[in-house]
Amino acid sequence: MSAQYEKITTWLQQQALSAVLVSKRINVRYFSGFAGSAGVLVVSPTTRKLFVDFRYVEQARQTAPEFETVKCKANPLDAAVEYLREQGFAQIGFEAEDLTVADFRRITSVVGENQWVPFVLDSLREVKSAEEIAKIETAARILDQAFAKILPQIRPGIAEYSLAANLEYEMRQLGSERTGFATIVASGPRSALPHGVAADRLLATGDLVVFDFGAVFDGYHSDMTRTVCLGPASDRQRQVYQTVLSAQMAGLAAVRAGALCREVDGTARGIITEAGYGDYFGHGLGHSVGLAIHENPRLSPLAGEARLEAGMVVTVEPGIYLPEWGGVRIEDLVVVTADGCRILSHTTKQLLELT
């Protein structure tokens, strides 16, 4: 955790803050190592305190050894704010997006409102360390192995629910602590739903089937999408699939440190638009991945001047979604490097026609 602590103390100096109250669960874990459901941090250049209730005292001591564990009789947030008041910190950063209006009223009744400075700390997680990347790579490997195990089960008559359940079982058997998000298995016309989580539909010959799934290893997520065809593909299915694959390969080729996120998106989007499907690709090209499944920066037309940096981990996932016909999405997880990217998803992207 020392590298993360250095990040936040440097940030404190840059922002001219005397302390910061960290309440967002993901950021509490990132800066301290503590992954419990209730706990807050107080960090200053000379202070590292983790406030938890009785349930998490031992877990905090074991997983956040660089922080002093403070056992609270009541709400950890209230205890942390009382500590800040006692210490007389002048300007205190806080995660405004994480606190409710009621929370804010409580903390400002103890420490004056003019002492609180709202900030978003998530940007400090954007560039991953070698240790973080190794965990994400392990989570990505689980996806490759789990998908290989369920490929023989993809056949006419099986329900999307069943395939999703079997895929999740295999991920858990391979070491995933949980699923990264609701598993998407969308077949036939349902494959036109970008977030078509598994339903009770039975697969049929001729279906395109989209699988979008994620694993979690030591808190870090992975994400991959593959589309297969049940039986021989039609000419149109091949053409749509090849368009998406060409766009995805172009997007991958555009990923590198220094690249504008919106331009990476535009490289892939242009291919889909030129093929006449621009109106059917309505989401961004990709997103960053880490302790959360969706992090910044995003590969999107709306990304402004955001640029990729070496050590970021992003998805590249163009798609075409044609209502009442079906859809195709192909997604890889990659690590941004100085001169390109390193792909962590190794399942074939050749159109599989399963018989």
Of the three residues 125, 149, 170, the one that is the final residue of a domain is: 125
Q: Are residues 136 and 239 in the same domain?
A: yes
Distance (Å, whole) CA 7 – CA 96: 20
pLDDT tens-digit readout, 291-320: 999 999 999 999 999 999 999 999 999 999
How many domains would you assign to the chain?
A: 2
Does the pLDDT value for residue 2 go beyond 90?
no
pLDDT of residue 314: 98
pLDDT of residue 5: 85
Q: Are residues 220 and 324 in the same domain?
A: yes
pLDDT band at 74 (very low <50, low <70, confident <90, very high): confident
pLDDT of residue 160: 98
Q: Are residues 150 and 119 in the same domain?
A: no
User: Which domain does 175 fall in, by range?
Assistant: 130-354
pLDDT band at 230 (very low <50, low <70, confident <90, very high): very high
CB 310 within 8 A of CB 284: no
Stretch 15-40: mean pLDDT, rounded?
96
Distance (Å, whole) CA 126 – CA 115: 28
pLDDT tens-digit readout, 102-130: 999 999 999 999 999 999 999 999 999 99
pLDDT tens-digit readout, 38-72: 999 999 999 999 999 999 999 999 999 999 999 99
Q: Are residues 220 and 77 in the same domain?
A: no
Distance (Å, whole) CA 218 – CA 142: 13
Does the pLDDT value for residue 1 go beyond 70?
no
pTM: 0.95
Q: Are residues 157 and 259 in the same domain?
A: yes
CATH code of the domain containing 69: 3.40.350.10
Q: For the packed helices 2-15 and 25-32, what is the interaxial angle rounded to 10 degrees?
A: 110
Burial code (b: 16+ CB inside 10 Å, e: under 16) for 48-84 equals: bbbbbbeebbeebbebbeebebbebeeebbbbbbbbb
Q: Which tokens is 74 given?
A: 């009541």
pLDDT tens-digit readout, 171-205: 999 999 999 999 999 999 999 999 999 999 999 99
